Every structure is written in C-alpha cells, then in structure tokens.
Amino acid sequence: MLGGDASCDMAWDDMERLEGLEGLREFCARRTKKFTVSVEGNIGCGKSTLLKYFESCPTVECLKEPVDQWRDIQGHNALQLLYEDPKRWAFSFDNYSMLTRLEMHRHKHAVPVKMLERSLFSTRYVFVENSHKSGMLTDLEFAVLSEWFDFITTTQKVGVDLFVYLKAPPDVCHRRIMARNRKEESGVPLDFIEKLHDLHEDWLINQKKYKVPGPVLVLDASHELPKMKEIYEEFKSEILCGCT
C-alpha cells in the first residue's frame, strides 16, 4: 500500500557480487524494507508530542525538528533573527532550513521506521511558499530556493513513505503556542498561523498547486492530550507502516 523510495539494506548494485540463485536468496533475505514517516502540521499542532509518544518504540527512530541547529549556526541564532526581521533573514533561514532538512532525509536508520518532524517538502510547499507569498522573499530569492529544492528532490534520496498530517484549527494551535511561551514565538500573530494552516490544507488536502509525494494520513489534532493518545494508539499500525 505504501510507496516511496525508502532505503533498504542493499542496493541492486550489490547483486553483482552475489551470483546465481544463492545470491538472489541472500539478496532477498538481507533486503529489509525501511520506512520514512513525516509528521506534518502547523506550529503548535502537536508534532513533538506525537514524536515523543512513539520515541520509546524499539522500531522507531525519531528525528526532531532541527531547532537547535537553527538557534546556533556558527554562533548565529537564525530562528531569532527570522522572527525579529523576517524580510531581512527569510532567505538565509529558509536556505539553511532546507539544508538541515536534507540532512534529516539522508540520515540512515538502523530500525525499520524513521519518523521526521516535518520534511523538505513542507519546508518548500508551506514555509518557503508562505515567505514568498507574504513578501518576505523576493521573486529571485524564491526562484533560487525553488531551484535548490528541484535539484535536491531529483538527485537525492529524500522519499517519504507516509505523511501524517496533524490537522488542528489555527486558534487551537495559537492557544497552545501562547501557553508554551517560547521566547522567539511570543509575538506570533494568529494571522500567521492561519496562513500556514491554509498552505498545509492546499498542499496536503487540496493538492492543487503541489502534489504530495506519498500517501497522507490525516489525524484530527484538535483534541486534548488524553484523547490524542487514544488516536495515536488507534492508528499506531498505520503511523508505523505496520512496523509496531
């Protein structure tokens, strides 16, 4: 049921070393399918909470959003600069964000499932798109980032087997962001969260401008935590691509 180009232990090239039927058998035995799952959704929708929930599963390796890297790139806090003066810093931030996403996609996992907190695809189709639409990126800057993205996605293995979309109303996300009180986010307006919500919907649900490169599992993330945990359990097998 699930597609994508997730990694396996052996490449077809390795077949050259393994001759005949025995070789084929060895290839089949050692070729274990691995999955990449990307958890998508608005700021504050509960992605980290979901990752934390599945972190203890022995079949899963979770890669959190690389916020620490954004906060300290050779002594610069790119995230803070972005929030302070987005017009000046959006290009630098989005550019670096794409690099850190590529690193996540390229990270090799030994366990069956790699769970990413967002992906290169949401970086491009939601965040870079939003920066451009809201005038934070010039047309040229947007074109440069788009070409980088196209080059990466056509030359690198960045496949995702499943997108889990945590869908929550913007006001719910905004309330949670305010309650958690991160210093960079103290001034995040509801309007910004609404724009990001619409872009998630355009990409993951409507799929008009951009297609999703994999199946999408939509979970209603508007509930309080106890109910969310029930939902995680109910969909555990789907979320983990059968590797529970």
Ligand X SMILES: Nc1ncnc2c1ncn2[C@@H]1O[C@H](COP(=O)(O)OP(=O)(O)OP(=O)(O)O)[C@@H](O)[C@H]1O
Of the listed pieces 11-19, 46-54, 88-96, 121-129, which binds ligand X according to CB under 6 A? Answer: 46-54
Tell me whether strands 60-63 and 216-220 are parallel, antiparallel or unpaired: unpaired
CB 65 within 8 Å of CB 184: no
Find out whether 32 is annotated in a ligand binding site. Answer: no
From the list 6, 37, 45, 160, which residue makes contact with ligand X (rule: CB under 6 A)?
Answer: 45
Positions in 47-106 near ligand X (CB under 6 A): 47-49, 65
170 lies in the binding site for ligand X (CB under 6 A): no
Of the pair 47, 114, the CB lying nearest ligand X is at 47
Place of tokens 């972190």: 55
To ligand X, the closest distance from the beta carbon of 160 in angstroms equals 17
- Is 117 designated active site? yes
Find out whether 180 is annotated in a ligand binding site. Answer: yes
CB 82 within 8 Å of CB 91: no
Q: Is 235 helix (H, G, I), strand (E, B) or coil?
A: coil
Of the listed pieces 11-19, 36-44, 71-79, 123-131, which binds ligand X according to CB under 6 A? Answer: 36-44
Give every CB contact of residue 101 below 8 A, 6+ residues apart in sequence.
66, 118, 119, 120, 123
Find out whether 45 is annotated in a ligand binding site. Answer: yes
Of the pair 46, 112, the CB lying nearest ligand X is at 46
Provide long-range contacts, Cβ within 8 A and 24+ apart, for 9-15: 9/34
Of the listed pieces 39-47, 53-61, 194-202, 212-220, which binds ligand X according to CB under 6 A? Answer: 39-47
Buried b (16+ CB within 10 A) or exposed e, 36-48: bbbbbbbbbbbbb
Catalytic residue among 40, 61, 65, 117: 117
From the list 146, 176, 231, 238, which residue makes contact with ligand X (rule: CB under 6 A)?
Answer: 176
Of the pair 109, 176, the CB lying nearest ligand X is at 176
CB 203 within 8 Å of CB 126: yes
Q: Which two tokens stand for residue 64?
A: 């959190």
From the list 225, 230, 233, 235, which residue makes contact with ligand X (rule: CB under 6 A)?
Answer: 225
CB 73 within 8 Å of CB 55: no
Find out whether 42 is annotated in a ligand binding site. Answer: yes
Known catalytic residues are 117
What is the contact surface with ligand X in residues (CB under 6 A)?
Answer: 41, 43-49, 65, 176, 180, 223-225, 228
Annotated binding site: 41-49, 176-180
